[in-house]
Amino acid sequence: ALGHPIGASGARLIVTLVHALARRGLQRGIASLCIGGGEATAVAIERSGT
């Protein structure tokens, strides 16, 4: 339970990932999400200029 409005799960995960990368001084991370029915989605983020 991340605490977010319905339909905002993807945005919540991306913002959390980007902030975690910044706090830890990292450049790359992956966020994944189960969307039900045997389906899922994932995104790889790379920070530039760090």
Residue 34, Cβ density class (10 Å: 0-12 exposed, 13-18 middle, ≥19 buried) = exposed
Residue 9, Cβ density class (10 Å: 0-12 exposed, 13-18 middle, ≥19 buried) = middle
Decide which of 6 and 42 is more confident: 42
Q: Report pLDDT for 12.
A: 87
Q: Report pLDDT for 25.
A: 95
pLDDT at 3 over 80: no
pLDDT digits (tens, 9 = 90+) for 11-49: 889 999 999 999 999 999 999 988 889 999 999 999 987
